[in-house]
């Protein structure tokens, strides 16, 4: 069964289930054959070593989405086996971000570190079965003796240790008798295996480090491969969905659960999300934060969920994007424009339209009485009939965008210029009658106009037409605001490409943030609540920043209006 897609291979935006994919087919098959007693239990397993990013959103969408689609559940599990890097700040942010995106984990928040005692017992079980041994080689020696894809590895000289000796040494490792790195516990599998992951992989390492949950209780820590599958098994995960780089680890995943004789989940791999002009690596994002190259994890230019949220992204837009891109078995790169397209589609439906002037030019309407105010009706959202209308004040002095006036207009320029008549949105026709200049510099400081009272509401009774409609705000009523405009954080499609010998910070876009002050907004925006979203007519979608207050309004531009993807989609329909 396939869901409808158009010629670009993208799902129709309203298809609730999204395009069909191979993971969904595997689950359907398993349900048909009753493989897991008809259960679907997934998990989302972040390592708490940074904030979640848009790549994680893809994984969240797959894991929570499939669970809910098939009446199952998805757990949130912190893969916190690595003590040195983990922090509670990350745990808290991850919980908040998964919730925000709509991931329903109920009270099922788990920590791999809670399984340390069980994992230790399982390691002892493997030692007893002759399937694990304590090895005294250094990490470097282990690596050197591992062999290559064409040559088998060299067995460790400690491979033949007796069960008794191994049990004693492993216990002493646990008791903290040995320094970091001096010994490891390794699985005894096959030093000649064509899969390097099976050449006696390390199960435990010695690390005298504080853990964010277990403190100093442990000084040996399990490796990811020894912890992950068993954690899945403990939680009775049915489908352990992970990214493609773990495909080569699946035989090891399977080996551990088989050797232990415990419940066996199915690991399934899918393609990682890569986005143009974007880095999706927590390590690199952390470097941007630590070097002060962005203002923090939630800098609105960051691809983190907290950054996107602050920028004005909606969870719905992110979910729609994840549905559109689907899942596959080959890694590719998705255009950032597609994410922005999903955002615009959502904001177009829900954002209230308002008027705001970012780079103000003063306009005096010379035939409008001083001190008078006219309240004009304005539609809140033409896409949403239930959104209603509001009134906006009109008075003698207005602001328009500097860009909407040219003293010397080029051909094809239809906005205001001396002698030209245009329509003010929701207002009147005005005609430019004069230009005020700074006598010293000659710079335009304002313009003068007349208005036609008969054109209230935007139409002339005599049927005469104007070629353009511009937005405006009343000077006496406008509120002042700071507005932050954003562009791509990187200048390159693939900022992670180091082939020119430069690291990703070399490709930071110096113009990624432009701060405008003295912007003039329609008065209704004075107390815009956090989470509100607006379309500033003709300028884009905006939201109040979390720094915004009535005393000092600050708005972020979420995204500009121009949407090249909309055209591509239209053509392909």
Active-site residue numbers? 47, 272, 282
Using CB atoms within 10 Å of the CB of residue 3, give its burial: 0 to 12 exposed, 13 to 18 middle, 19+ buried. Answer: middle
Residue 310 CB, shortest distance to ligand ATP, in Å, is 19
Q: Note whether 258 and 264 are within 8 A (CB).
A: yes
* Cα-based distances in Å from 114 to 174, 220, 231: 16, 14, 10
Residue 550 CB, shortest distance to ligand ATP, in Å, is 38
Residue 289 vs 357, nearer CB to ligand ATP:
289
* Cα-based distances in Å from 199 to 123, 139, 151, 205: 17, 14, 12, 16
Residue 198 vs 280, nearer CB to ligand ATP:
280
Radius of gyration of the chain (CA): 31
Q: Note whether 48 and 75 are within 8 A (CB).
A: no
Residue 80 CB, shortest distance to ligand ATP, in Å, is 10
CA distance 397 to 395: 6
- The binding track of 202-241 with respect to ligand ATP, each residue x by CB under 6 A or -, is ----------------------------------------
Chosen from Mg ion, ligand ATP, none, partner binding at 56 (C-beta under 5 to 8 Å by type): ligand ATP
Residue 47 vs 316, nearer CB to Mg ion:
47
Residue 279 vs 447, nearer CB to ligand ATP:
279
CA distance 414 to 394: 23
Eight-state DSSP code of residue 304? B
Residue 34 CB, shortest distance to ligand ATP, in Å, is 26
Chosen from Mg ion, ligand ATP, none, partner binding at 231 (C-beta under 5 to 8 Å by type): none
Taking CB under 6 A as the binding criterion, the range among 56-64, 124-132, 162-170, 542-550 that sits at the site for ligand ATP is 56-64
Residues near Mg ion (CB under 5 A), total = 1
Residue 61 vs 381, nearer CB to ligand ATP:
61
Q: Note whether 183 and 169 are within 8 A (CB).
A: yes
Contacts of 9 (CB under 8 A, 6+ apart): 19, 326
Residue 79 CB, shortest distance to ligand ATP, in Å, is 6
- Torsion, Cα 416 420 421 426, to 10 degrees, reads 0
Residue 44 vs 218, nearer CB to ligand ATP:
44
Eight-state DSSP code of residue 536? E
Here the tokens at position 347 are 């904001």
Chosen from Mg ion, ligand ATP, none, partner binding at 282 (C-beta under 5 to 8 Å by type): ligand ATP
Contact with ligand ATP (CB under 6 A) among 18, 19, 46, 103:
46
Q: Note whether 129 and 337 are within 8 A (CB).
A: no
Of 301, 262, 276, nearest in space to 486 by CA: 301
Tokens 């531009």 correspond to 557
Contact with ligand ATP (CB under 6 A) among 21, 42, 59, 113:
59
Residue 134 vs 242, nearer CB to ligand ATP:
242
Chosen from Mg ion, ligand ATP, none, partner binding at 281 (C-beta under 5 to 8 Å by type): ligand ATP
What size, in residues, is the chain? 573
Contact with ligand ATP (CB under 6 A) among 11, 27, 42, 56:
56
Q: Is 47 in the site for ligand ATP (CB under 6 A)?
A: yes
Chosen from Mg ion, ligand ATP, none, partner binding at 243 (C-beta under 5 to 8 Å by type): ligand ATP
Q: Are strands 534-536 and 540-544 parallel, antiparallel or unpaired?
A: antiparallel
Residue 47 vs 254, nearer CB to Mg ion:
47
Q: Is 55 in the site for ligand ATP (CB under 6 A)?
A: yes
Tokens 């969240």 correspond to 60
Chosen from Mg ion, ligand ATP, none, partner binding at 280 (C-beta under 5 to 8 Å by type): ligand ATP
Residue 274 CB, shortest distance to ligand ATP, in Å, is 7
Residue 46 vs 326, nearer CB to Mg ion:
46
CA distance 474 to 472: 7
Of 139, 121, 125, 113, nearest in space to 45 by CA: 113
CA distance 205 to 67: 35
Chosen from ligand ATP, Mg ion, none, partner binding at 103 (C-beta under 5 to 8 Å by type): none
Contact with ligand ATP (CB under 6 A) among 30, 40, 41, 45:
45
Eight-state DSSP code of residue 265? P
Q: Does the CA dihedral 238-242-247-252 come out positive or negative?
A: negative
Chosen from Mg ion, ligand ATP, none, partner binding at 305 (C-beta under 5 to 8 Å by type): none
Eight-state DSSP code of residue 307? H
Here the tokens at position 45 are 């397993």
Q: Which residues from 252-291 bind ligand ATP, rule CB under 6 A?
A: 272-273, 280-282
Taking CB under 6 A as the binding criterion, the range among 29-37, 51-59, 248-256, 296-304 that sits at the site for ligand ATP is 51-59
Taking CB under 6 A as the binding criterion, the range among 54-62, 376-384, 448-456, 501-509 that sits at the site for ligand ATP is 54-62
Q: Which residues from 28-57 bind Mg ion, rule CB under 5 A?
A: 47
Residue 475 CB, shortest distance to ligand ATP, in Å, is 48
Chosen from Mg ion, ligand ATP, none, partner binding at 59 (C-beta under 5 to 8 Å by type): ligand ATP
CA distance 263 to 37: 13
Here the tokens at position 397 are 């002095």
Residues near ligand ATP (CB under 6 A), total = 15
Contact with ligand ATP (CB under 6 A) among 242, 252, 257, 260:
242
Chosen from Mg ion, ligand ATP, none, partner binding at 46 (C-beta under 5 to 8 Å by type): ligand ATP
Residue 507 CB, shortest distance to ligand ATP, in Å, is 18
Residue 226 vs 394, nearer CB to Mg ion:
226
Angle (nearest 5°) at CA 554 between 552 and 558: 170
442 Rama class: left (phi>0) / alpha (psi -120 to 50) / beta: left
Secondary structure (DSSP) of 481-524: EEEEEE--SBSSS-TT--TTS--GGGGB-TTSEEEEEEEEE-GG
Using CB atoms within 10 Å of the CB of residue 241, give its burial: 0 to 12 exposed, 13 to 18 middle, 19+ buried. Answer: buried
Residues found near Mg ion in the complex (CB under 5 A): 47
- Residues near ligand ATP, by CB under 6 A: 45-47, 55-56, 58-59, 79, 242-243, 272-273, 280-282
């Amino acid at each position: 069964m396939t869901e409808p897609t158009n010629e670009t291979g993208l799902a129709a935006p309203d298809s609730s289930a999204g395009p069909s994919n191979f993971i969904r087919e595997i689950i359907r098959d398993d349900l048909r054959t009753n493989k897991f007693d008809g259960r679907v239990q997934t998990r989302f397993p972040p390592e708490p070593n940074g904030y979640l990013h848009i790549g994680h959103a893809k994984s969240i969408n797959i894991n929570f989405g499939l669970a809910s689609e098939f009446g199952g559940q998805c757990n949130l599990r912190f893969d916190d086996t690595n003590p040195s890097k983990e922090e509670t700040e990350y745990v808290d942010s991850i919980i908040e971000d998964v919730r925000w995106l709509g991931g329903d984990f109920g009270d099922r928040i788990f920590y791999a570190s809670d399984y340390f005692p069980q994992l230790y017992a399982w390691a002892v079980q493997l030692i007893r079965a002759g399937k694990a041994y304590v090895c005294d080689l250094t990490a470097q020696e282990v690596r050197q003796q591992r062999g290559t894809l064409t040559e088998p590895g060299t067995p460790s000289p400690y491979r033949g240790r007796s069960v008794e000796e191994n049990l004693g040494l492993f216990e002493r490792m646990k008791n903290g008798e040995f320094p970091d790195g001096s010994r490891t516990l390794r699985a005894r599998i096959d030093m000649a295996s064509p899969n390097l992951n099976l050449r006696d992989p390390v199960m435990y390492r010695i690390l005298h480090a504080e853990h964010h949950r277990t403190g100093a209780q442990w000084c040996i820590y399990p490796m990811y491969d020894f912890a992950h599958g068993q954690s899945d098994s403990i939680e009775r995960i049915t489908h352990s969905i992970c990214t493609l780089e773990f495909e080569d680890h699946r035989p090891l995943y399977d080996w551990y659960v088989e050797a232990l004789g415990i419940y066996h989940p199915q690991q399934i791999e899918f393609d990682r999300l890569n986005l143009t002009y974007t880095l999706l690596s927590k390590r690199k994002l952390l470097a941007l934060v630590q070097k002060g190259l962005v203002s923090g994890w939630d800098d609105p230019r960051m691809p983190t969920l907290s950054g996107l949220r602050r920028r004005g992204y909606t969870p719905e837009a992110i979910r729609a994007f994840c549905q559109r891109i689907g899942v596959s078995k080959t890694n590719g790169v998705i255009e950032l424009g597609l994410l922005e397209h999903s955002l615009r589609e959502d904001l177009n439906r829900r954002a209230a339209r308002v008027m705001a002037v970012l780079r103000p030019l003063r306009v005096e309407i010379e035939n409008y009485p001083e001190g008078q105010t006219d309240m004009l009706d304005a539609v809140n959202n033409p896409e949403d009939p239930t959104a209603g209308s509001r009134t906006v004040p009109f008075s003698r002095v207005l602001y328009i965008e500097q860009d909407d006036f040219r003293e010397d207009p080029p051909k094809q320029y239809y906005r205001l210029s001396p002698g030209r008549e245009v329509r003010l949105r929701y207002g009147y026709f005005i005609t430019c009658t004069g230009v005020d200049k700074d006598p010293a510099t000659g710079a335009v400081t304002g313009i003068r106009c007349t208005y036609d009272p008969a054109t209230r509401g935007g139409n002339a009774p005599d049927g005469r037409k104007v070629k353009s409609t511009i937005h405006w705000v009343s000077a006496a009523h406008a509120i002042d605001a700071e507005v932050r405009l954003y562009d791509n954080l990187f200048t390159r499609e693939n900022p992670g490409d180091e082939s020119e010998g430069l690291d990703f910070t070399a490709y930071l876009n110096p113009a990624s943030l432009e701060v405008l002050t003295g912007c003039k907004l329609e008065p209704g925006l004075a107390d815009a609540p956090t989470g509100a979203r607006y379309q500033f007519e003709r300028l884009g979608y905006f939201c109040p920043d979390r720094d915004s207050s009535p005393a000092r309004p600050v708005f972020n531009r979420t995204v500009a209006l121009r949407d090249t993807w909309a055209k591509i989609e239209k053509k392909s329909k």
